[in-house]
């Protein structure tokens, strides 16, 4: 809405650096009490005093912004809660509108907005002015920490309820474990994390490689949707559906396969947890429409071929199902590309 590009880049997990404010750390941990307490800390309502889960802590003091800061380049903005962050965004947008007017602030094309009509999520709000921006921010804050003073039905409240249920079950059965004995593992040493666990088992490496590749394509499809140029409404709808289907029809089925695989002989009894590796951040953006669609189609077909090969060695029914879903998505893109080619051929001058 403000003319900026979508931002999908991030460091690899765990994020324990100054990428976020010093008291905000993000790491992948198995589902359980520690994970739930960490989620509660991240989603806590503004003004609530709550300690982070064990193993997480501040890496330094907060450095608040000052009104006399003269810099014109972007710099770190420190916030304590998600609500604090978004209320700051809301105040900043209101300040710019008051100073420059809505027409000078909301310069992004309305057609680039993700809407309910395309994504079928009822809470999506097209942001085109200050009122709609404030409404969208209100939804984000209410979903995360709840309406002002009422967090029971928010993400925070749901995590509180899940933790209470978990502790009750643990009281009845101290041996109860709600998740597999996973640990976040990598295929290769990432450049931005000092100490990681690398996968030793060769079959597990193949499954994890597929998982990471699917994750990368999801980011590519989402980037293409938001920075599109020249796509028809029908093509944009296909991009949106492809992103959703990759998450719902591929990642959701592939995750349980990966988390059932062993890490390797040095970690007996431990299974592989996806690390959601970021390998090539700049590769998320595919700037030219015709080339972008060809690359996305090629990647989906390649992933389908990999699934077919894995079906011979692990979870054949699941892998065959995923292969079919990937080929179907590739086919949807191919139909649009063929329609484009036919249209160009029909428009070519005859001799």
Please report, for residues 16, 216, 292, the alpha-carbon distance to residue 54 in angstroms, rounded to integers and kept in the order given: 14, 31, 44
- Report pTM: 0.90
Joined tokens for residue 141: 């804050």
Residue range 135-140: average pLDDT?
A: 90
Report d(CA 257, CA 54) in Å as an integer. 29
| pLDDT > 70 in the chain, percent | 91
State the residue for tokens 């014109």.
Answer: 72
pLDDT-derived band at 284 (thresholds 50, 70, 90) equals low
Angle between helices 33-43 and 155-172 (to 10 degrees): 160
Report d(CA 217, CA 327) in Å as an integer. 14
Report d(CA 111, CA 1) in Å as an integer. 10
Joined tokens for residue 22: 């010093």
pLDDT at 351: 55
Q: Read off the pLDDT of residues 209-233 as tens digits, 9 standing for 90 and up.
A: 999 999 999 999 999 998 888 999 9
Report d(CA 254, CA 310) in Å as an integer. 11
pLDDT at 137: 92
Q: Read off the pLDDT of residues 6-34 as tens digits, 9 standing for 90 and up.
A: 888 888 888 776 677 877 888 899 999 99
Q: Read off the pLDDT of residues 238-273 as tens digits, 9 standing for 90 and up.
A: 999 999 999 999 999 999 999 999 999 999 999 999
Given a contact cutoff of 8 angstroms between Cβ atoms, the answer to whether 41 and 20 are in contact is no
pLDDT at 100: 97
Give residue limits of the domains in the chain: 1-179, 183-347
Helical (H) or strand (E) element with 34: helix 33-43
Query: In this model, does residue 295 exceed pLDDT 90?
Result: yes
Does 1.20.950 match the CATH number of domain 183-347? Answer: no
Tell me the backbone φ, ψ of residue 179, rounded to 5 degrees.
-140, 165
Query: In this model, does residue 150 exceed pLDDT 80?
Result: no
State the residue for tokens 């800390």.
Answer: 41
Q: Read off the pLDDT of residues 321-349 as tens digits, 9 standing for 90 and up.
A: 999 999 999 999 999 999 999 988 887 66
Report d(CA 194, CA 11) in Å as an integer. 12
Alpha helix positions (H), 44-182: 82-100, 102-105, 116-119, 130-145, 155-172
């Amino acid at each position: 809405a403000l003319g900026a590009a979508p931002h999908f880049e991030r460091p690899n997990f765990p994020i324990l650096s100054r990428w976020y404010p010093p008291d905000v750390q993000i790491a992948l941990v198995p589902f359980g009490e520690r994970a739930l307490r960490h989620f509660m800390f991240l989603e806590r309502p503004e003004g609530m005093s709550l300690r982070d889960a064990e193993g997480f802590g501040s890496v330094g003091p907060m450095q608040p912004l000052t009104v006399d800061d003269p810099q014109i380049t972007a710099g770190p903005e420190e916030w304590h809660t998600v609500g604090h962050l978004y209320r700051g965004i809301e105040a900043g947008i209101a300040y710019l509108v008051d100073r420059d007017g809505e027409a000078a602030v909301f310069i992004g094309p309305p057609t680039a907005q993700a809407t309910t009509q395309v994504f079928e999520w009822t809470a999506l709000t097209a942001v085109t002015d200050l009122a709609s921006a404030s409404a969208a921010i209100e939804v984000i804050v209410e979903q995360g920490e709840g309406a002002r003073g009422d967090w029971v039905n928010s993400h925070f409240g749901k995590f509180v309820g899940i933790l209470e249920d978990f502790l009750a079950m643990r009281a009845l059965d101290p041996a109860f474990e709600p998740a597999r004995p996973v640990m976040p593992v990598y295929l290769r040493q990432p450049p931005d994390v000092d100490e990681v666990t690398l996968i030793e088992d060769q079959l597990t490496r193949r499954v994890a490689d597929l998982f990471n590749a699917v994750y990368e394509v999801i980011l590519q499809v989402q980037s293409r949707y938001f920075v599109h140029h020249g796509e028809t409404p029908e093509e944009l709808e296909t991009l949106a559906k492809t992103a959703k289907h990759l998450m719902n029809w591929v990642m959701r089925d592939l995750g349980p396969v990966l988390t059932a695989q062993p890490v390797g002989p040095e970690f007996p009894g431990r299974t592989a947890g996806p690390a959601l590796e970021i390998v090539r951040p700049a590769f998320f953006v595919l700037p030219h429409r015709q080339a972008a669609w060809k690359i996305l189609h090629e990647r989906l077909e390649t992933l389908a071929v990999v699934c077919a090969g894995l079906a011979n060695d692990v979870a054949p029914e699941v892998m065959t199902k995923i292969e079919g879903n990937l080929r179907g998505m590739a086919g949807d893109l191919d139909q649009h590309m063929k329609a484009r080619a036919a249209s160009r051929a029909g428009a070519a001058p005859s001799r």
